[in-house]
Amino acid sequence: MALEDTYRAYLQALNERRLDDLAEFVHDSLTYNDEPLTREQYAAMIAPDLTAAPDLYYDATILVATDTQIACRIQFDVTPQSEFLGFPATGTRLVFAEHVFYDFTDNRIKAVTSLIDRWAVHQQLGR
């Protein structure tokens, strides 16, 4: 399976809330923004966002792949029901992007570097 196909299957698992399937896509240990995590810690980092924003959908609008790396712009359009990304829920619809880079080893994620456009969220909340 090509790396891009593997990555799209990973996003589908996230969109379907199948965090138990992360073992197929993520190594037992990885780094997230240079911080070492276990796969379980990584899943625990993602889970609150899925709960806070039930309409959260990972929409890969730009995706560039090599044999071992993925660069992606993920677009989000959500209405959080509880605290989300450190912001209180206000019933406001939020549209923002994440730019994320993945390093893969043996066709599984080994490192993630993520930049979420928190400024866009901040602006939409009028803060």
Give tens-digit pLDDT for 19-71: 999 999 999 999 999 999 999 999 999 999 999 999 999 999 999 999 999 99
Task: Determine the residue type at 12.
Answer: Q
- CB count within 10 Å of CB 40 equals 13
- CB count within 10 Å of CB 104 equals 21
Which residues, listed in sequence order, are joined to residue 124 by a DSSP beta bridge?
none
Convert the pLDDT of each residue in 94-118 to its tens digit.
999 999 999 999 999 999 999 999 9
pLDDT band at 126 (very low <50, low <70, confident <90, very high): confident
How many domains, in total, are found in the chain? 1
66, 86 Cβ separation under 8 angstroms: no
Structural domain including 94 reads 3-124
Distance between CA atoms of 127 and 125, rounded to whole angstroms? Answer: 6
CATH number of the domain within which 101 lies: 3.10.450.50
Is pLDDT at 127 greater than 70 in this prediction? no
